[in-house]
Amino acid sequence: MANVSGLSPSQLRFIHAARVAHLATASLNSQPHVIPICFVFDGKHFYSPIDEKPKRGPAIRLKRLRNISENPMVAVVVDRYEEDWGRLGWVMLYGHADILAHGIEHDQAQALLGERYPQLATMQIAEHPVIAVRIARVSSWGNLSVAPPTPF
Amino acid sequence: MANVSGLSPSQLRFIHAARVAHLATASLNSQPHVIPICFVFDGKHFYSPIDEKPKRGPAIRLKRLRNISENPMVAVVVDRYEEDWGRLGWVMLYGHADILAHGIEHDQAQALLGERYPQLATMQIAEHPVIAVRIARVSSWGNLSVAPPTPF
């Protein structure tokens, strides 16, 4: 998995270890919006599926996509909260988002997401769009160390 | 603790049970920013401290405050991620943010934050500003049930 995005090894490990991120978008009149997302990072681009959870209303889904359509600038944060604040840390990615409706990159992203989240297997999302974040800038803070697996 | 914000009891319980939230701001030119925050919700307003962690650079802190100064519109999400996606849920608050530098509300918010986060006690933040979010709109999704405490 090539790292062509300028992230450090510790930033990369921190991102790969996380299961949820937060995506912020903004409307053209600068009203922010933020939502938790599942994601995969292929070493260059950051992908998040548009899922189809039964309880999620269309307005919510559309808000995220509508914002990206009118203003592709986004911010993504991957962070860790623990009660030991010496373990707090985050990696922030700034960039612009594309909405991939189909094509090779869309299909590859769907495959990576499916590998990472078995939960997606039952959700029939293969034909749904994927948000791709093209990273322009990265910053991070705090403790990014990822604990090694507990030995047997 | 009065609920004068229009939140439902389940939304309130979900917020009170969470230890971290995510605050999204946007610059005047609609560049979003998102950061994890500790917080307290007093039933009406949502407060987050400006802390002074040694490793946090001034630019990061200022970005959040600079965005709010030029564009007070914010979004806050309180959410839960678990591998059982039947347990996913979030509450989203839209509103505008004030930066409280001093005064009665500032001091009350600092006291509430100190009760909720013992970690703040060593951080000398009492004289620092507090972000206050005035809630204009609430939405939520998913499973907001908060598990009862495990019996002995």
Query: What was the ipTM of the complex prediction?
Result: 0.90
- Cα gap A78→A16, rounded to integer Å: 10
Q: How far A147 CA lies from chain B's nearest CA (Å)? A: 19
Q: How confident is the model at residue A58 (pLDDT cuts 50, 70, 90)?
A: low
**Of the ranges A99-103, A138-142, B60-64, B79-83, which one carries the lowest mean pLDDT score?**
B60-64
Question: Average pLDDT, whole number, for chain B?
Answer: 89
- Does residue B34 have a pLDDT over 90? yes
Q: How confident is the model at residue B54 (pLDDT cuts 50, 70, 90)?
A: very low
Closest CA to B31 of A97, A109, A18, A101: A97
Phi, psi of A84 (to 5 degrees): -80, 100
- Does residue B129 have a pLDDT over 50? yes
Q: Given CB atoms, is A27 within the 8 Å cutoff of chain B?
A: yes
Residue with tokens 């000398």: B124
- Does residue A59 have a pLDDT over 80? no
- Residue-level pLDDT at B151: 63
List the structure tokens of B57. Answer: 């650079």
User: What are A86-119's pLDDT values in tens digits?
Assistant: 999 999 999 999 999 999 999 999 999 999 999 9
Q: Given CB atoms, is B57 within the 8 Å cutoff of chain A?
A: yes
Q: How far B102 CA lies from chain A's nearest CA (Å)? A: 26
B75–A119 CB contact, under 8 Å:
no
Q: How confident is the model at residue B123 (pLDDT cuts 50, 70, 90)?
A: confident
- Cα gap A10→B53, rounded to integer Å: 20
Q: Are the beta carbons of A20 and A38 closer than 8 angstroms?
A: yes
- Residue-level pLDDT at B126: 77
Write down all domains in chain A, each with its CATH number in brackets: 9-142 (2.30.110.10)
Phi, psi of A48 (to 5 degrees): -140, 135
Q: How confident is the model at residue A150 (pLDDT cuts 50, 70, 90)?
A: low
Q: Given CB atoms, is B33 within the 8 Å cutoff of chain A?
A: yes
- Cα gap B73→B32, rounded to integer Å: 11
CB under 8 Å to A51, separation ≥6 — which residues?
A38, A120, A123, A125, A128
Secondary structure (H, E, C), A17-74: HCCCEEEEEECCCCCEEEEEECCEECCCEEEEECCCCCCCCHHHHHHHHHHHHHCCEE
Coil vs helix vs strand at A141: strand
Task: Work out the average pLDDT over A38-55.
Answer: 83
Predicted model pTM: 0.90
3-state DSSP helix/strand/coil % of chain B, to nearest 5: 30, 35, 40
Question: Average pLDDT, whole number, for chain A?
Answer: 89
Task: Work out the average pLDDT over A126-134.
Answer: 91
- Residue-level pLDDT at A19: 98
A81–B20 CB contact, under 8 Å:
yes
Mutate to test the interface with A, among B25, B34, B91 (most CBs of A within 10 A): B34
User: What are A118-127's pLDDT values in tens digits?
Assistant: 999 888 777 8
- Within 10 angstroms of residue B145's Cβ, the number of other Cβ atoms is 13
Q: DSSP labels for B13-30?
A: HHHHH-S-EEEEEE-TT-
Q: DSSP labels for B69-118?
A: HH--EEEEEEEE--SSGGG-EEEEEEEEEEEE-SSHHHHHHHHHHHHH-G
Q: Given CB atoms, is A131 within the 8 Å cutoff of chain B?
A: no
CB pairs A-B closer than 8 Å: 117
- Does residue B88 have a pLDDT over 70? yes
